[in-house]
């Protein structure tokens, strides 16, 4: 009796044997049931990669992509090959980092023009006043047509 229980415990602790398996270690078609290993970091990398790409126009893209790259590298550091989820998370995180850097560069380069437009709009508001939105748009159109010397519509 003791030999059977020790042998049974040993079979549960050892790696799954295809030919000598109990139903507890196999699925319906006698295929091994593996516990997921190390998939939490790869899934986190994938989710953060997707978020970093979708939130690329926000300032939150760079930290999310950095965390996604970190989690993908942690999967690789554990000695495991990168599974498809970790690879796609790594690629998406790199794309998210690129989009985040491009959006920051765009904002830095476009900021002087935006500030100039804001100054022009405040000058227009002070000059013409803002009675209603449609009147403001008509006056702004008149200002632009005078500024760019556009012909009058007939």
- Per-residue confidence in pLDDT tens, the chain, 154 aa: 455 555 555 545 555 555 555 555 555 565 665 555 557 888 999 999 999 999 888 878 999 999 999 998 888 776 667 888 889 999 999 999 999 999 989 888 888 888 888 787 777 767 666 566 677 778 788 888 887 776 666 5
Give yes or no: residues 131 and 61 share one domain.
yes
Q: 97: exposed, middle or buried (C-beta count within 10 Å: 0-12, 13-18, 19+)?
A: buried
Give yes or no: residues 79 and 137 share one domain.
yes
Give yes or no: residues 27 and 47 share one domain.
no
Contact predicate 61/96, CB 8 Å: yes
Q: Is 154 helix (H, G, I), strand (E, B) or coil?
A: coil
Give yes or no: residues 99 and 129 share one domain.
yes
Q: Domain count for the chain, please give it.
A: 2
Give yes or no: residues 55 and 93 share one domain.
yes
Q: What residues make up the domain containing 25?
A: 1-34
Q: 143: exposed, middle or buried (C-beta count within 10 Å: 0-12, 13-18, 19+)?
A: middle
């Amino acid at each position: 009796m003791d030999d059977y229980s020790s042998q049974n415990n040993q079979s549960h602790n050892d790696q799954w044997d295809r030919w000598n398996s109990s139903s507890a270690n196999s699925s319906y078609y006698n295929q091994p049931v593996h516990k997921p290993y190390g998939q939490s970091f790869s899934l986190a990398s994938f989710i953060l990669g997707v978020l970093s790409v979708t939130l690329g126009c926000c300032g939150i893209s760079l930290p999310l992509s950095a965390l996604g790259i970190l989690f993908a590298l942690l999967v690789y550091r554990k000695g495991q090959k990168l599974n498809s989820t970790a690879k796609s998370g790594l690629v998406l995180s790199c794309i998210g980092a690129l989009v985040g850097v491009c959006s920051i560069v765009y904002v830095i380069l476009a900021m002087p023009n935006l500030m100039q437009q804001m100054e022009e709009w405040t000058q227009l508001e002070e000059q013409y006043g803002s009675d209603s939105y449609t009147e403001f748009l008509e006056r702004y159109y008149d200002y632009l047509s005078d500024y760019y010397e556009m012909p009058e519509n007939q």
